Structures are given as C-alpha cells and as structure tokens.
C-alpha cells in the first residue's frame, strides 16, 4: 500500500515507518510545512494515497505558556483540520481509503475509570486539545474509514519518559511521584507500532480505541517495578510542588491520570505483545 504519515520524524513516527517499510509498503512523510500550507498543495501530497497515518503533535509535557499552548493546540487541531479539508476536497476516487490517527487518554477526566464510551471528559487544557483534535476527524467523508487510538504513556528504549528516569533510578534516586496512588496507564512502543499496523492492514471499520496495556497499575507500583528490574532501591518521593515549579500547570500530567480500559481493542482482535509492566520493563531494560 501507499502510506503517508504526518509526524513521521517523531519518535513513534519513525518506528511505525520503519516497520511498514519492512512489510513492503511504500511509505513517506508529509512535510510539516505542508500541513499549514494551502489545501491544494496538501491535496497533491496525499492524492491517490491508500492510508494516511496522523501522528503530528508537539510535546505536551512542557510549561504551558501562551505560546507553547498555541503550538500544542495548532500542531494537533489545526494540522488535522487542514488534513481533513484536503482529503474531503479530493475527488472520491483519489482520496485515501483510511485515516489512522493518534489521540490521547488525556481526553478523560482523571481519577475515574473509562472505556471508549465514556463522556466524562477532562475540562482542562489537555482535554480541550484532545476533544477538538478528535472532533476534526469527524468531518472526514463517510467513505473514508477512520481509526483513532487514544494513547497512554509510551515506554521504549528511546522514549523520553524512560531516558529521563533511567539514570536517577540506576543511582538509587528514583521514587514515586506525589502520593503515587494515581493510575499509570502505559503502553510498550512495540504495541503502539503493532496497533497502528493492525489498523492499517487489517481493521475494516471506523473505530476509536484506548491504546494502553491491559494491566492497570499505580505510579507507586510502576516505581517499585522499575526499581526491582534495575535491582535498585526507590525510597524517594518527588513532591508535586517540585514538579509544579518545573512544569507549572503541566505538572498535572504527572500527578493525575485516568484509569483506562483496553478491553475493546482486545475484543476487536488485537493481541498485546507486552500486556504487563513486568514484561514491558524487562524488554526495555535489556535493550538499554
């Protein structure tokens, strides 16, 4: 198949692109500037493409200054709006048959349990971004299959989440964040890649899925598991106020989180290669 990706130079984009190429697909990235340019230019880029994978988005874990919030919002919502507009304006025979898009579990209100049917959405900045992001996709033509994955925290050897924690934990300086009781919805990078490829190659219906590992753990449980795999202690606590000094309001991404079910994805036929935190960390630490 001929496949185009937004966000192809990002961490997840590179992994998905590489795997698709190995499987024999023709894969190329959509230049970021095109996503902000005229619809005509973007139409030419995606004309006669089989599948578009939408991964564009600036990092959310940074201080939410006015400028950064605008970048975070536009890099998801505006680019997706322009992409959908370009697809819609193409003649039906030249449109992509499918769009597979990233989204985030940040759409859900923290401190509650959620399936894909939940409408108990976050009413803060992240919730606004993700709701508007997904809403743009609803304007796609009915004959374009749409698959949306609401991602949890992605773990992998090159993931910044792991890179930032590895050294402190190896030095015995790791610890839980705040109370540690907040849910920690994680997903192994390989399961992210596998899910996007499964949706690209196999899935035949428009769906929205939570993309988090089946096992539900707390931040405290993650901390103990990570320390155990490294054979190091983890007695420290990172206080919420310290995170707020660094990240401002964005610190809430680390101190609060929703509990999310991936049952729907499994029932649809997707198999998780790394369903538990133990399997996930063992693989990552060996590779690191």
Q: What is the mean pLDDT of each run of 10 residues along the chain (288 residues)?
A: 97 98 98 93 97 97 96 98 98 98 98 96 97 98 98 92 88 92 96 99 97 97 95 91 88 92 98 98 86
Could you tell me how many residues make up the chain? 288
What distance in Å separates the CA atoms of residue 162 and residue 8, rounded to the nearest whole number? 21
Let me know: does 174 contact 168? Beta carbons within 8 Å: yes
Q: What is the dihedral of CA 22, 17, 159, 118, to 10 degrees?
A: -110
| Vertex 199 angle, CA 195 and 203, to 5° | 130
86 φ/ψ angles, rounded to the nearest 5 degrees: -65, -40
Let me know: does 140 contact 87? Beta carbons within 8 Å: yes
Q: What's this model's pTM, rounded to 2 decimal places?
A: 0.96
What distance in Å separates the CA atoms of residue 75 and residue 208, rounded to the nearest whole number? 21
152 φ/ψ angles, rounded to the nearest 5 degrees: -90, -160
Q: Which of 101, 104, 105, 109 is nearest to 83 (CA)?
A: 101
Whole-number Cα distances in Å, 231 to 3, 133, 219, 222, 285: 43, 41, 18, 14, 11
What distance in Å separates the CA atoms of residue 99 and residue 131, rounded to the nearest whole number? 17
| Vertex 122 angle, CA 118 and 128, to 5° | 115
What domains, with CATH codes, occur in the chain?
A: 2-153+188-214+261-273 (3.40.50.720)
100 φ/ψ angles, rounded to the nearest 5 degrees: -115, 115
Cα distance from N-terminal residue to C-terminal residue, the chain: 33
| Amino acid 288: pLDDT | 66
């Amino acid at each position: 198949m001929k496949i185009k990706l937004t966000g192809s130079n990002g961490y997840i984009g590179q992994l998905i692109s590489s795997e698709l190429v190995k499987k024999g697909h023709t894969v190329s990235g959509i230049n970021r500037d095109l996503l902000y340019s005229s619809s005509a230019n973007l139409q030419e880029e995606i004309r006669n493409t089989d599948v578009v994978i939408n991964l564009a988005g600036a990092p959310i874990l940074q201080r939410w200054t006015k400028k950064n919030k605008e970048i975070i919002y536009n890099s998801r919502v505006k680019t997706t709006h322009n992409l959908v507009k370009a697809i819609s304006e193409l003649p039906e025979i030249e449109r992509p048959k499918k769009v597979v898009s990233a989204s985030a579990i940040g759409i859900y209100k923290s401190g509650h349990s959620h399936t894909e049917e939940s409408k108990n959405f976050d009413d803060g900045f992240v919730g606004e971004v993700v709701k508007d992001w997904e809403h743009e996709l609803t304007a796609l033509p009915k004959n374009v299959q749409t698959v949306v994955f609401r991602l949890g925290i992605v773990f992998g050897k090159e993931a910044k989440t792991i890179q930032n924690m590895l050294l402190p934990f190896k030095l015995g300086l790791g610890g839980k964040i705040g109370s540690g009781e907040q849910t920690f919805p994680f997903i192994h990078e390989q399961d992210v890649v596998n899910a996007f490829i499964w949706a690209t190659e196999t899935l035949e219906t428009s769906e929205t899925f939570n993309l988090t590992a089946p096992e539900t753990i707390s931040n405290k449980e993650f901390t103990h598991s990570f320390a155990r795999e490294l054979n190091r202690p983890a007695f420290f606590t990172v206080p919420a106020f310290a995170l707020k000094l660094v990240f401002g309001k964005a610190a809430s991404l680390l101190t609060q989180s929703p509990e999310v079910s991936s049952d729907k994805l499994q029932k649809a036929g997707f198999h998780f290669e790394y369903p538990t935190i133990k399997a996930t960390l063992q693989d990552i630490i060996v590779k690191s």
